[in-house]
Structure 1
């Protein structure tokens, strides 16, 4: 992390304080703790007196904004240094750079000074056409063709070549006007339309995207799941996406083209020079800015959609983790399957595995009575009070099997519950499961996980990578680093909000407790296994 001046640090703290509705001293204290390596749950739970009571939501937002603002300040400093090194940094430009509040604003201001490849405008300047462009922009009484004739030479073939070169120079100038770019970007945000079309010949292969074969809606109103669906269609070469603006305008001069002209006070009715400059404004939009700003809007749409989607995924995960636990009761877990059979695992009230079995009530064996007899035996032998049924393939058939069996049993009967088995197969093949059940078949480990997640969802689900739990339709379409970070934060907050039982919690669960970590969690479990329960 770069070392910032005191004034920059104060600016960061003041901005964050405003964003999270806190005082600057609270932000300063929280940042100091984060920089020392403290986690958000640890600060929220154990350092309230230091931060003045900032809650976990405020601290999460603080942490995110801190990263962005530090990156912004580093980029601001680099841009100022680059322009200063070129000898082009004026007091006015530096003031604008210092006042910029987003990375986009800084980049817009830097655009005219950014080292670039040799452009058409640069070639035109080398050919001596810079003065022609300046004259036509400054004196609107001139006739472009007449003035351009004075610039024809051995490098500039004719009047048309001279005017084309002057146009290239002015187009670059217009396209690098930071204030204009800001206004155009804002206009697009409110007026642009996102249009989706199917690529010819891809109708059959892309049938699942048929809703978007000919679809258009306001860019500002595209909701997350539709945006991600269309972007997936584009990535699979089924759809074409484009940003349209002023498509329905019948005016000779489109409103967005007029905005570019207005920035240079161009009024075509005033004469030949202004009419020529209006054409330059049109070319600036069509050739340069329409593409670059459309790309900006598509990136912004993806970012916005991913943020919305990740928020939904995080809420879904939180609901799963904080689902009410059934408690310490002997439980039978059923991992449904048809051809490979239904995997059965019995765990006691602490989650300890007691017995496993595999039954085959469905095709090809159709051994319904044998399956029911085996489950009934396990219920009686282990005094099972709960039956957890995974919600995957053959879940309904398995539930009916259990319902029919329970109707035959005397009271008190176990209670059956359908349980999400998302991530159970991932856990089954994980290193954690292999360490816990080295001699147990992978398929049976899933049944153990299903039983335990009914007893205590949080304790079992923390063993699985959050992304593998399955928290949303488009979770694989969003930025995986940001998704992992958000979901890990949900798990961390959930564990620290609920707390753990020191004598029954797994190492995976203990490691999520603020201030514990993996090594200490393993040591606690090792000590507990050797010395017995903690008093």
Structure 2
């Protein structure tokens, strides 16, 4: 391959931004600029927040899409280079083949083109070629007129192992079968038919019906590939992996084989029968298994993508849950026989005292537990009590509420608390305490600030996913990291109190710089200004640029340090203040001063109206928290287990998990119920996130109870009045008229 060709090939792939702009519906300039910023090391939160003029105000979702798509295209480009080099090294590269490789829009199509040239292990076709049967295969493919038996006899060679005419034909058919299975047009057509007409067929493994009870729905199940939602694909795949289900992908071969015949059979002569045998063999032995494998991979990737999206959105909603705020807390990690570990936290989350109470092991112990709780509440002037929602959670909540202590009592989702308590992070924070104390502290801190506490956990440990352990773990990790970074930077972090864990998610930092910041804080005391960050070892200009706007300093020397205004715009804000004869502090506190600012006067090449609007918004509410206000919640008294439920009950609940097929809700019975997609509202709902979010308080109606399978069906539909019939409207009309007449008559005597 010439250098000139390589140069032109590189130019071909400079058009990434054009491809992406068409796919995302944005301008190529926006895409090109965003790719440039990403390549320079800018983070997604920084780009979407502080480079709006450069990107045309692309949001985080769009920037993430550009990042992911350009990586896909670059990977495709690298593979194309490798394919072209391989074919060229074989001496088989032609201009037509170059064009085909250039035009391959997906990795699958590229691999189809490369397949005939791809080095492979020995096959039946390669053995036949070694026996000199390529010529006979071409005679059959060309469907030449004449005596094909006589033609085949010419290829008999005892030394090469071709002893009969039939052996010659068999070898030639093997060559044709492989050629057909590797034909890029045949594969493209077959792939399209598999995707459009193929079906999943699931069956229970005979004799495993009892073990597979949770897969009852799939004991005899057939579903279109294109219509199968991700949760069902993942469920069937899990059942297959557990060797409880058989799972096949099927398609009617009469949809594919005739297409191959039309492509290859151009006559009806002595060669036709041999050619048809080769076509059918090529489909059944080579093409069909290859397509089934490929479609399995494709449907798994598609299902993974959906499941990862659901999980990431659940994590986002959980991380952005409403914080109680800085309150003095009593936190309880409940238990029956082993007791309830109880801790006291000050308003900053510092552990002040810990003990164990035993409210569920007899009246005497319950009385002592009540005295202990009351004493701690009075001693520390407790403002709220957090109770974990695990084993004995409802019973412990009831116990505390009945004491009527006059403080807020909140059930806290403790998923992952036990994992945190045994983690390296927890050991660093509380080296002198056991896992039970650490777990209780985590429960209390989750109530104060869910984001600050949950970032200490691997997101997969939080327990709000849809088959998260079955999907591609690398892609899942990338999506979850993106989500945590997005949430942390959306809220912002208090520089002088933030943990190393939450600092590590700040734009431009990471674990190493986060540790350096904590070390500096310990050695030098609190940061007085954002500018002081530049004194932190190894924190250079680029890291400062990326991180500064997301770090807050309350009551520092520079009032803007408490806001999301980036230090690069401080001079601009100071200019605004001067021009209305005020200080920056005055501008932040007085609406009438801000109202005097004409933003158009401050537009420059670098700063446009989008950024100026953001600045003005921050001046009005510096460092505002985008999370919702905390609301109290309690479950229904007396409903503590699935046995207490009755169909028709209306109950309060908390949404714990959202999937593509509905939402799971904790109603206080140690088993979440499911609101199916069709039961979320009185209207059609395409996406559960349109109606509910994780941690949302809802009212549900019990529609189904299956104690054996531990399934609870719930509904959020409201009872709508049935429209009156024509006869009913007629029958009511006289009553209405009479009522009006009586009311009018009565008014005359007032």
Same fold (TM over 0.5): yes
Cα distance 1:511–1:504, how it changes in 2: closer, same or farther (>3 A)?
A: same
- Given that 1:339 and 1:364 are in contact with CA atoms closer than 8 Å, whether structure 2 keeps it comes out as no
- Given that 2:307 and 2:466 are in contact with CA atoms closer than 8 Å, whether structure 1 keeps it comes out as no
Give the one of 244, 251, 256 matched to 1:245.
Answer: 251
Q: How does 1:81-230 map to 2 (within 5 A)?
A: 81-139=85-143, 141-142=145-146, 144-145=148-149, 147-154=151-158, 155-230=161-236
Structure 2 counterpart SS, 1:241: strand
Q: How does 1:515-534 map to 2 (within 5 A)?
A: 515-529=508-522, 531-532=525-526, 534=528
C-alpha distance in 1 between matches for 2:273 and 2:412: 71
Give the one of 314, 319, 328 matched to 1:316.
Answer: 314
| Alignment of 1:66 onto 2:70 | yes
Structure 2 counterpart SS, 1:115: coil
Structure 1 counterpart SS, 2:72: helix
* Equivalent in the alignment of 2:349: 351
Give the one of 23, 30, 49 matched to 1:26.
Answer: 30
Q: CA deviation at 1:151?
A: 3.0
Higher relative contact order, structure no. (Cα contacts within 8 Å, ≥ 6 residues apart) = 1
Give the one of 11, 16, 25 matched to 1:12.
Answer: 16
Cα distance 1:140–1:453, how it changes in 2: closer, same or farther (>3 A)?
A: same
* Equivalent in the alignment of 1:492: 485
- Which shifted more, 3-12 or 236-245? 3-12
Cα distance 1:520–1:286, how it changes in 2: closer, same or farther (>3 A)?
A: closer
C-alpha distance in 2 between matches for 1:134 and 1:532: 82
C-alpha distance in 1 between matches for 2:12 and 2:370: 71
C-alpha distance in 1 between matches for 2:238 and 2:439: 31
| Alignment of 1:258 onto 2:262 | no
C-alpha distance in 2 between matches for 1:153 and 1:163: 13
Structure 1 counterpart SS, 2:71: helix
- Given that 2:311 and 2:466 are in contact with CA atoms closer than 8 Å, whether structure 1 keeps it comes out as no
Q: CA deviation at 1:177?
A: 0.7
Q: CA deviation at 1:62?
A: 1.2
C-alpha distance in 2 between matches for 1:38 and 1:366: 62
- Given that 2:333 and 2:341 are in contact with CA atoms closer than 8 Å, whether structure 1 keeps it comes out as yes
- Which shifted more, 449-458 or 127-136? 127-136
C-alpha distance in 1 between matches for 2:290 and 2:173: 19
C-alpha distance in 2 between matches for 1:257 and 1:439: 72
- Given that 2:265 and 2:272 are in contact with CA atoms closer than 8 Å, whether structure 1 keeps it comes out as no
- Given that 1:144 and 1:163 are in contact with CA atoms closer than 8 Å, whether structure 2 keeps it comes out as no
Q: CA deviation at 1:365?
A: 8.5
* Equivalent in the alignment of 1:403: 401
Cα distance 1:50–1:361, how it changes in 2: closer, same or farther (>3 A)?
A: same
Structure 2 counterpart SS, 1:151: coil
Structure 2 counterpart SS, 1:221: coil
- Given that 1:44 and 1:53 are in contact with CA atoms closer than 8 Å, whether structure 2 keeps it comes out as yes
C-alpha distance in 1 between matches for 2:344 and 2:12: 60
Structure 2 counterpart SS, 1:81: helix
Structure 1 counterpart SS, 2:373: helix
- Given that 2:140 and 2:274 are in contact with CA atoms closer than 8 Å, whether structure 1 keeps it comes out as no
C-alpha distance in 1 between matches for 2:509 and 2:130: 66
Structure 1 counterpart SS, 2:265: coil
Structure 1 counterpart SS, 2:359: coil
Cα distance 1:9–1:382, how it changes in 2: closer, same or farther (>3 A)?
A: farther
- Given that 1:266 and 1:278 are in contact with CA atoms closer than 8 Å, whether structure 2 keeps it comes out as no
Q: How does 1:41-56 map to 2 (within 5 A)?
A: 41-56=45-60
Give the one of 240, 245, 252 matched to 1:234.
Answer: 240
- Given that 1:347 and 1:451 are in contact with CA atoms closer than 8 Å, whether structure 2 keeps it comes out as yes
Calculate the TM-score normalised by the size of structure 1: 0.92
C-alpha distance in 2 between matches for 1:335 and 1:380: 20
* Equivalent in the alignment of 2:430: 437
C-alpha distance in 2 between matches for 1:140 and 1:4: 42
Cα offsets for 1:426-449 (capped at 9, x unmatched): 211222221211212211111111
- Given that 1:510 and 1:517 are in contact with CA atoms closer than 8 Å, whether structure 2 keeps it comes out as yes
- Given that 1:189 and 1:297 are in contact with CA atoms closer than 8 Å, whether structure 2 keeps it comes out as yes
Cα distance 1:532–1:89, how it changes in 2: closer, same or farther (>3 A)?
A: closer
Q: CA deviation at 1:107?
A: 0.4
Cα distance 1:200–1:504, how it changes in 2: closer, same or farther (>3 A)?
A: same
C-alpha distance in 1 between matches for 2:312 and 2:8: 33
Q: CA deviation at 1:363?
A: 4.1
Cα distance 1:519–1:281, how it changes in 2: closer, same or farther (>3 A)?
A: closer
* Equivalent in the alignment of 2:376: 378
C-alpha distance in 2 between matches for 1:245 and 1:140: 33
C-alpha distance in 2 between matches for 1:296 and 1:217: 18
C-alpha distance in 2 between matches for 1:512 and 1:112: 47
C-alpha distance in 1 between matches for 2:520 and 2:194: 62
Q: CA deviation at 1:523?
A: 4.0
Structure index of larger Rg: 2
- Which shifted more, 217-226 or 177-186? 217-226
Structure 2 counterpart SS, 1:215: strand
Give the one of 332, 335, 354 matched to 1:334.
Answer: 332
Cα offsets for 1:407-458 (capped at 9, x unmatched): xx3xxx1112221111211211222221211212211111111111111111
| Alignment of 1:282 onto 2:280 | yes
Q: CA deviation at 1:6?
A: 5.2
C-alpha distance in 2 between matches for 1:323 and 1:130: 68
Is the helix fraction higher in 1 or 2?
Answer: 1
C-alpha distance in 1 between matches for 2:415 and 2:366: 26
C-alpha distance in 2 between matches for 1:106 and 1:22: 27
Cα distance 1:444–1:263, how it changes in 2: closer, same or farther (>3 A)?
A: same
Cα distance 1:364–1:533, how it changes in 2: closer, same or farther (>3 A)?
A: farther
In structure 2, the gaps of 5 or more residues are: 1-5, 529-555, 557-750
C-alpha distance in 2 between matches for 1:438 and 1:241: 50
Q: CA deviation at 1:198?
A: 2.4
- Given that 2:155 and 2:162 are in contact with CA atoms closer than 8 Å, whether structure 1 keeps it comes out as yes
C-alpha distance in 2 between matches for 1:331 and 1:41: 33
C-alpha distance in 2 between matches for 1:365 and 1:118: 79
* Equivalent in the alignment of 1:468: 461
Q: CA deviation at 1:194?
A: 0.9
